[in-house]
Structure 1
């Protein structure tokens, strides 16, 4: 079972949760909701490793797992287990075990994409398509399309003074 990732923009975490609420308080994926959510269905592109590798290429810095910083929006922070023992006592269907999860990306990431040099994007896509995590299964042309979508989303977010969010589910 894989993890799915959708990226979208919203003014703040509270609004992000409202945009994704199907009436039960648990955020549904923005790609499944459609109207009213400016979203990007990024399938297997996690915010920490694969997106981090892309951000490293855009910023021309070494990639690292802490390059993309996030803040948890869902599940609610006050329900977060404080120890491994508490985590082990959670019911199997706890959102901390099963998701979905909603993370707010640091504005540095939004701005890195928004300020990306359009002329450099094909070169970045070529390098990103070759990262180990894609295991040779990413085409540079397809990678360029994904990058252009991220850049466009980030530019719209910055113009609106919105933040970027990543919704994840199993």
Structure 2
């Protein structure tokens, strides 16, 4: 089945933690959500950030908002620089970035159209979150 990764908008950590209480994801908890498999908020997002900026900035996963090692799902805050880079990505770069992203090891099984759609949804969520003073989070489920 794969790892489920739902990106969503929340006001803050406390608000985002409500998604942890929903075993079927943040959308069912009322959050605006983009649902994709295997777009983890650490490695895959770091790879995307590198494609967009040319900077290799892998960070250890210290952004846990909710969940423990005994859980099967968690909520993470998307790193501020990844969030900002997504929100700032110009529309005219979506195709180019998606084309480079699918050549990475983390995305090598993804069709280009799916990667472009995922990127487009992530960018839209990041822009909406920024404009509303909120942030981007990721719900991960095994």
**TM range, smaller chain:** 0.7 to 0.9
- Pick aligned residue for 1:155 from 127, 132, 137: 127
CA-to-partner distance for each residue in 1:8-48, whole Å, 9 max, x for gaps?
A: 01110111123x26xxxx343114x06x3111102111111
The SS at the match of 2:140 is strand
Q: CA RMSD in A?
A: 2.0
Per-residue deviation, 1:55: 1.2
Gaps of 5+ in 2: none
CA-to-partner distance for each residue in 1:105-154, whole Å, 9 max, x for gaps?
A: 2222221101002111111111111111233x212222111111000000
The SS at the match of 1:7 is strand
The SS at the match of 2:101 is helix
The SS at the match of 2:5 is strand
Counterparts of 2:94 and 2:9, CA distance in 1? 22
The SS at the match of 1:125 is helix
Q: Indicate conservation of the 8 Å contact 2:86/2:122, yes or no.
A: yes
TM-score by length of 2: 0.87
TM-score by length of 1: 0.74
Q: Which has the higher contact order (CA 8 A, sep 6+)?
A: 2
- Pick aligned residue for 1:99 from 54, 72, 83: 72
Gaps of 5+ in 1: 76-94
Per-residue deviation, 1:70: 4.7
Q: Which runs of 4+ in 1 moved over 3 A?
A: none
Counterparts of 1:163 and 1:109, CA distance in 2? 11
Q: For residue 71 of structure 1, what is the aligned residue in structure 2?
A: 63
- Pick aligned residue for 2:106 from 117, 130, 133: 133
- Bigger Rg, which one: 1
The SS at the match of 1:46 is coil
